[in-house]
Structure 1
Amino acid sequence: MSTDVRLPVVVVAGLDRAARRQAVLELLAAQPRVVVLHHELTHADQHRVHRTQRTTSGPLAEDVDAELVNDCPCCAIRADLLPELRRIAEAGRHTLAVVELWGGSDPHPVVEVIAAAEVGDGRCMDEFVEIAGVVTAADPLRVVPDLSVPDTLCEHALHTGPDDDRTRAEALAHQIEYATVLAVPFAPRHEPDRRQRLAGLAMLHQLNPTARLVALDTGVLARAALGGFDVPAARDRVNPALALLPQQADQAGVATLLWTRRRPLHPARLFEALDQLVPAAHRSRGRFWIANRPDTLLAWDAAGANLAVEECGPWLAALSDADWEHYPPTRCAAAALDWHPQHGDRIQQLVFTAPDLDQQGITDLLDSCLLTDAELRTGQRGWKHLPDAFADLLTPVG
């Protein structure tokens, strides 16, 4: 096969096995010579991964059991999936490869591995394949319930390794927000749970308003899934420093609140408010800064009543002009256009999404965590003496 023609690859994710499998089967039947590759992690606790390949005619090759290298699903993909994709691409007998992920798998690291990995001979994977689309399949009837509970993936045998302690809500939120296509089962005309379905659809749309929402069993999935995928743009879309967060919305009883302020947050008051803020929404995320750490951009990532706060490097306002060249032009341009005379690009931007969201209550609580005028006047020298309440919660990125 000439490497001038790369094999299109569609990655399909989803917690809901039935919806995910329906999406895969539709892609498999959409055109001739499609191959599906799936790594099953049922026995992840035993450090094993089971790989299958199939076409419309049945299994393409014998199933393979391999070791889960370093207890890392991405390592298993690098060791097993990439050589298979290269082999299939070079053989030239297939027009599309569908990579069906395991239930709790995050598509983001998988796509990054496929798109950029070296595969020997001094060559990269992107010489052989191209990511054509990323699909997350979800049942709208289950989206809101799955985002509201603290159940771990391990409790449902959907974890990707022995050390995977993520919740179902965390996994589902990241699957939804990274995809360019959200595939949902087709609804019967007289569906008894229509209100719950509409709430689930509203939740999907508000969490990822730029994704294309398609109904399965209508013949449109393949066209949507093969619409093209921009790996760097997708990376930026989920990067806390660059993400364009969802805007205010209210539909089918589901609302999204975008809280934006400039002045710094008081670390102790914000920490004390977490017990109320985190469970106030099914999903919340964004970027923020606290007064005693004025140079550090912090990421907020909460789902299913679990919160992760991470250090994401410096605010540009903390850097010299010469250091700006090390950061993406899009971030520099956005900072320059929205520059605050006192705080630079430092900003509070947190977005909360849930049914029956108490928008005023969340706004009032967050506003009460900001520095008062008197505290603001003490400046950064005074702020550094505030309690370092987030020291034990912060997790550096990278």
Structure 2
Amino acid sequence: MPSSPQAPAAAVTADADARPSLTVLSGFWPAATFAVAVTLLAADPSVLLVRHDLTRLRDGVVRRVVRSGAGTVEDEQVDLRHGCVSCTLREDVLPTLTRLARSNPRHDLILMLPEVVEPEAVAAACTHCLVDGAPITDLIHVDSYVTVVDAEHLIDALASTDDLAALGIQAADDDHRGWADVVVRQIEYADTLVLWGQSREGAFDTSRLTVLLKRMAPWAVHFGVDGDLVDATALARQLRHTHRHRPETPGILARGLQGYALGTHEPEADCGVVSSVFRARRPFHPQRLHDILEEVNAEMIRSRGHLWLASQPDTVVAWEFAGGGLSMGSLGHWLVSLPQDRWEYVGDQRRLAAALEWDPYYGDRHQHLVFIGIDVDPVELHRTLAGCLLTDAELADGEETWRGYQDPFAGCFPLGTEELTAPAPDTDTDTDTDTDTEGAQPA
């Protein structure tokens, strides 16, 4: 068994305050998101707001509108080589931000994302896509990722089993994302959340939504805005020049592996909302886990995390539930399953997190799942999950026996060989294609 990986030295970064500041607004309800954008323009008319209309994206055409508090600055149709969100980001969104920063160096920027775009995709593009040979962060300080949530429609979205194609707003022909999936990812990536308006069910339900959002994204700063009467100056102070964005923070699938909180353990209901964290070192029995998948998510709004199966002890398995559907996929190797000379090619934060909780027998392998729902029983949930772990007698049989267990998930979580054979930066954040649990049913 290899020893614990060495923890890396902390990296130090510096801010360049002279750069124009960029606030990224996302949200599935354009009316609410645009209302926040217009409010920010009212507070500072010199700010430039950039929007892209993706209605004709699949035809390779987008419409770009840039406006200030004084009115429209640009309104142009853009032809793309390929009709997809990533092409829009590379070919027009990032170049437009760069151009505006160069031509208006004293004007801050607001980027309002189309409703189907997830902010994590924008953050990845800002980091990895170059404009004129350099990342846009050389010219622009990305200040904050703000997600605006419409209080009147949030619960409907989180409970929906519809996908974007059924709603007629998919970003591409092969875009099979669910409505709930997009909404939860917009919420969870944000460093700032704005609950816009009031629930149509009244004040208690609005309070319930506030608690629910705090459980879903405890790392974010939360604000509630009535929507009927808004103080533009106060809202601008809350949302701009906050320096809340931390580019090193991983996306939701990699958070737990890199030592960040996946959620908070709040088993006592607040407005009916319960958040329960399940952690364990010993592995799940594959058949017993498979048998309770529907049961543990039946009353959940959201669950997420990662786990390990006794029958596949080398693999970190991702777990994501939203909108009535559970997806499970491979997040790569556990460090304990890698040759020790490969550890240096895994991300620093991942190695640090593993070092802090390294177990002499299990290494870095562990279960880390978070469940968020309304009026759920956290004690029964933990009892059910704990019943899927290997018993003492099963543990004593050893890993070779575990690998021979009947496994309904066999073949669902393929592992690549790049971690074993060649240096691969940030391998801990790479995610293989999600496998729907329906595909894991035994034949």
TM over 0.5: yes
Q: Specify which of 149, 153, 178 is matched with residue 167 of structure 1.
A: 178
Deviation at 1:231, TM superposition (A): 4.3
Query: What is the distance in 1 between the residues matched to 2:43 and 2:252?
Result: 29
**Residue equivalent to 2:236:** 222
Q: Specify which of 389, 406, 417 is matched with residue 387 of structure 1.
A: 406
**Residue equivalent to 2:74:** 61
Deviation at 1:333, TM superposition (A): 2.6
Task: Kindly provide the CA deviation profile for residues 251-308 of structure 1, in whole angstroms up to 9, marking residues without a partner as x.
Answer: 2111101011111001122122222223331100001000011111111111111112
| Aligned CA distance change for structure 1 residues 252 and 390 (closer, same or farther; 3 Å) | same
Instruction: Name the SS for the 1:53 alignment partner.
Output: strand
Q: Specify which of 205, 211, 228 is matched with residue 202 of structure 1.
A: 211
Count of aligned pairs: 392
1:134 and 2:156 matched: no
Query: What is the distance in 1 between the residues matched to 2:389 and 2:19?
Result: 52
**TM-score, length-normalised on structure 1?**
0.91
Q: Specify which of 100, 108, 113 is matched with residue 101 of structure 1.
A: 113
**Residue equivalent to 2:264:** 247
Question: What is the 5 A alignment of 1:17-56?
Answer: 17-56=30-69
Runs of 4+ displaced beyond 4 Å: none
**Residue equivalent to 2:317:** 298
Deviation at 1:94, TM superposition (A): 5.0
Deviation at 1:185, TM superposition (A): 2.1
Report the AA paired with residue 10 of structure 1: T
Residue 178 of structure 1 contacts residue 234 of structure 1 at CA under 8 Å; is this kept in 2?
no
Instruction: Name the SS for the 1:103 alignment partner.
Output: coil
**Residue equivalent to 1:80:** 92
**Residue equivalent to 1:323:** 342
Residue 61 of structure 2 contacts residue 77 of structure 2 at CA under 8 Å; is this kept in 1?
no
Task: Kindly provide the CA deviation profile for residues 5-49 of structure 1, in whole angstroms up to 9, marking residues without a partner as x.
Answer: 322111111012222111111222221311111112223343432
Question: Which consecutive unaligned segments of at least 5 residues does structure 2 have?
Answer: 1-15, 416-430, 433-443
Residue 112 of structure 1 contacts residue 231 of structure 1 at CA under 8 Å; is this kept in 2?
no
**Residue equivalent to 1:376:** 395
Task: Kindly provide the CA deviation profile for residues 43-99 of structure 1, in whole angstroms up to 9, marking residues without a partner as x.
Answer: 3343432222111222111322423x4442021111011221111111126521111
| Aligned CA distance change for structure 1 residues 279 and 75 (closer, same or farther; 3 Å) | farther
| Aligned CA distance change for structure 1 residues 362 and 146 (closer, same or farther; 3 Å) | same
The root-mean-square deviation of aligned C-alpha atoms, in Å, is 2.2
Report the AA paired with residue 29 of structure 1: A
Residue 140 of structure 1 contacts residue 198 of structure 1 at CA under 8 Å; is this kept in 2?
no
| Aligned CA distance change for structure 1 residues 13 and 86 (closer, same or farther; 3 Å) | same
1:332 and 2:372 matched: no
| Aligned CA distance change for structure 1 residues 237 and 303 (closer, same or farther; 3 Å) | closer
1:150 and 2:161 matched: yes
**TM-score, length-normalised on structure 2?**
0.82
Residue 286 of structure 1 contacts residue 349 of structure 1 at CA under 8 Å; is this kept in 2?
yes
Query: What is the distance in 2 between the residues matched to 1:391 and 1:8?
Result: 48
Query: What is the distance in 2 between the residues matched to 1:360 and 1:163?
Result: 40
Q: Which moved more, 1:286-295 or 1:38-47?
A: 38-47
Instruction: Name the SS for the 2:297 alignment partner.
Output: helix
Query: What is the distance in 2 between the residues matched to 1:238 and 1:294?
Result: 19
Deviation at 1:192, TM superposition (A): 5.8
Query: What is the distance in 1 between the residues matched to 2:251 and 2:302?
Result: 19
| Aligned CA distance change for structure 1 residues 46 and 357 (closer, same or farther; 3 Å) | farther
Residue 253 of structure 2 contacts residue 305 of structure 2 at CA under 8 Å; is this kept in 1?
no
Deviation at 1:237, TM superposition (A): 5.6
Instruction: Name the SS for the 1:138 alignment partner.
Output: strand
Residue 9 of structure 1 contacts residue 98 of structure 1 at CA under 8 Å; is this kept in 2?
yes
**Residue equivalent to 1:311:** 330
Residue 24 of structure 1 contacts residue 100 of structure 1 at CA under 8 Å; is this kept in 2?
yes
Query: What is the distance in 2 between the residues matched to 1:321 and 1:376?
Result: 25
**Residue equivalent to 1:183:** 194
Query: What is the distance in 2 between the residues matched to 1:165 and 1:317?
Result: 34
Query: What is the distance in 2 between the residues matched to 1:320 and 1:273?
Result: 34
Query: What is the distance in 2 between the residues matched to 1:229 and 1:235?
Result: 14
**Residue equivalent to 1:232:** 247
| Aligned CA distance change for structure 1 residues 288 and 179 (closer, same or farther; 3 Å) | same
Question: Which consecutive unaligned segments of at least 5 residues does structure 1 have?
Answer: none
Query: What is the distance in 2 between the residues matched to 1:72 and 1:229?
Result: 29
Instruction: Name the SS for the 2:311 alignment partner.
Output: coil
1:344 and 2:363 matched: yes
Instruction: Name the SS for the 1:176 alignment partner.
Output: helix
Q: Which moved more, 1:173-182 or 1:90-99?
A: 90-99
Query: What is the distance in 2 between the residues matched to 1:359 and 1:11?
Result: 36
**Residue equivalent to 1:212:** 221
State, as a whole percentage, how many aligned pairs show the same letter. Answer: 30
Query: What is the distance in 1 between the residues matched to 2:27 and 2:302?
Result: 17
Deviation at 1:181, TM superposition (A): 0.7
Residue 319 of structure 2 contacts residue 329 of structure 2 at CA under 8 Å; is this kept in 1?
yes
Instruction: Name the SS for the 1:203 alignment partner.
Output: helix
Residue 9 of structure 1 contacts residue 97 of structure 1 at CA under 8 Å; is this kept in 2?
yes
Query: What is the distance in 1 between the residues matched to 2:413 and 2:85?
Result: 25
Residue 169 of structure 1 contacts residue 303 of structure 1 at CA under 8 Å; is this kept in 2?
yes
Query: What is the distance in 2 between the residues matched to 1:392 and 1:72?
Result: 30
